[in-house]
Amino acid sequence: MAISLEQWVAKICDGDRRAMAQAISAVERREPCSADLLKTLFHKGGKAYVVGITGAPGAGKSTLLEKVAAEYRQRGKRVGIIAIDPTSPFSGGAILGDRIRMQALSTDEGTYIRSMATRGQLGGLAPAARDVALIMDAAGYDVIFVETVGVGQDEVDVARLADVTVVLLVPGMGDDVQAFKAGVMEIADLFVINKADQSGVERVERELNALLSVTPQPDGWQPPVVRTTATTGEGIISLCEALEEFRAATEQSPAGLKRRKENTRLQLLELLRQSLFEKVAQEQFDHERIGEYVEEILARRRDPHSIVEEIMRASGVGTDRG
């Protein structure tokens, strides 16, 4: 790129979409310039409200987001959307699907939509999504939505980067609510029962409330349950209000501060782990050599701990214990 880092950052902060797209691609590909870019952008961010939204495939997350985003646009807010796609980066099918489904928003200057693939993210998805959110934040997007599917480790990680996490349920899940329990209860700040136009809403709501009543809320926040019909837009305003209420309740509260501290701590550790690994990997990860180590371990000539110590020492991050 011919322009300087300063010019690039200035363009991003001006909301220049092309500059943003280039920044996001650079970050996704972990190009050498991306670290400097992120360092500078960090000081321009910190204003956005990051909303994580997760739920089973087809629960209506994208449809709902489109409506919620439109509502925030009505209120004069600029909206960023990061749709994390579970498919392989090579198939591209669902990525295209998400883009098409959100077409109504994609021509709006105040909305920025970006899909990211789950697989193929060097260094993990959550750090990459966090970096993309930072770029949008610096570019002046007020509310940033991060859509993920299901409730696996990725979702828990993404939840940690969000200021608030919304979990979508739909009627007909039946006992699935129970199965959902472990992962969901710890990350949900707000529940949405979408497809409220379908039968079985009362049942999911009943099961969810039963579950909530026996789940301790250490932060003193009782996650509200909002019913929506994303296709018609019903319940969208209540959802926006619940989101704003959560924001107001956590912006200054000790529980909110505790959460931000914990998220920051995890982010720092994650970055350190990643950097250390990359340093060692770059310098020492010779596949042939790794193959030799594997043979040695298999033959029990050497143990893996000693080998790792040796690799670390060679990288200059090694232990002086021995």
Ligand X SMILES: Nc1nc2c(ncn2[C@@H]2O[C@H](COP(=O)(O)OP(=O)(O)OP(=O)(O)O)[C@@H](O)[C@H]2O)c(=O)[nH]1
Angle between helices 33-42 and 125-138 (to 10 degrees): 50
* CA distance to 37, 274, 314, per residue, from 128 (Å): 14, 12, 29
Are residues 83 and 251 in contact, defined by beta-carbon separation less than 8 angstroms?
A: no
At its nearest, how many Å lie between ligand X and the CB of residue 149?
A: 5
Nearest residue to 5 via CA among 29, 27, 38, 48: 38
Give me the residue label for tokens 């600029």: 78
Q: φ and ψ at 235, to 5 degrees?
A: 90, -5
Q: How far is it, in rounded angstroms, from Cα 53 to Cα 34?
A: 27
Beta bridge partner(s), residue 145: 51, 81
Interacting span for ligand X (CB under 6 A) from 22-30, 113-121, 189-197, 210-218: 189-197
Are residues 8 and 23 in contact, defined by beta-carbon separation less than 8 angstroms?
A: yes
Site for ligand X in 95-114 (CB under 6 A): 101
Question: Would you count residue 11 as binding ligand X (CB under 6 A)?
Answer: no
Question: Would you count residue 41 as binding ligand X (CB under 6 A)?
Answer: no
Which residue number, 61 or 259, has a Cβ lying nearer to ligand X?
61
Which residue number, 8 or 112, has a Cβ lying nearer to ligand X?
112
Are residues 105 and 69 in contact, defined by beta-carbon separation less than 8 angstroms?
A: yes
Which residue number, 59 or 243, has a Cβ lying nearer to Mg ion?
59
Which residue number, 19 or 102, has a Cβ lying nearer to Mg ion?
102
Among 61, 67, 114, 130, binds ligand X (CB under 6 A): 61
Interacting span for Mg ion (CB under 5 A) from 54-62, 109-117, 120-128, 215-223: 54-62
Structure tokens at 254: 């000790």
* CA distance to 25, 47, 133, per residue, from 139 (Å): 15, 10, 10
Among 22, 34, 54, 63, binds ligand X (CB under 6 A): 63
| Binding partner of residue 111 among Mg ion, ligand X, none, CB cut-off 5 to 8 Å per kind | none
Among 45, 52, 60, 127, binds ligand X (CB under 6 A): 60
Size of the site for Mg ion (CB under 5 A): 2
Question: Dihedral of the CA atoms 265, 269, 272, 277 (nearest 10)?
Answer: -160
Site for ligand X in 251-310 (CB under 6 A): none
Q: How far is it, in rounded angstroms, from Cα 153 to Cα 178?
A: 18
At its nearest, how many Å lie between Mg ion and the CB of residue 242?
A: 21
Which residue number, 97 or 110, has a Cβ lying nearer to ligand X?
97
Interacting span for ligand X (CB under 6 A) from 156-164, 201-209, 229-237, 304-312: 229-237
Among 57, 216, 218, 220, binds ligand X (CB under 6 A): 57
Among 74, 231, 264, 306, binds ligand X (CB under 6 A): 231
Amino acid symbol at 301: R
Among 22, 34, 62, 121, binds Mg ion (CB under 5 A): 62
Cα angle 110, 116, 117 (rounded to 5 degrees) comes to 160
- Percent helix, strand, coil in the chain, to 5, is 55, 15, 30
Site for Mg ion in 84-143 (CB under 5 A): none
Which chain residues interact with Mg ion by CB under 5 A?
61-62
Which chain residues interact with ligand X by CB under 6 A?
55, 57-63, 101, 149, 194-195, 197-198, 229-231
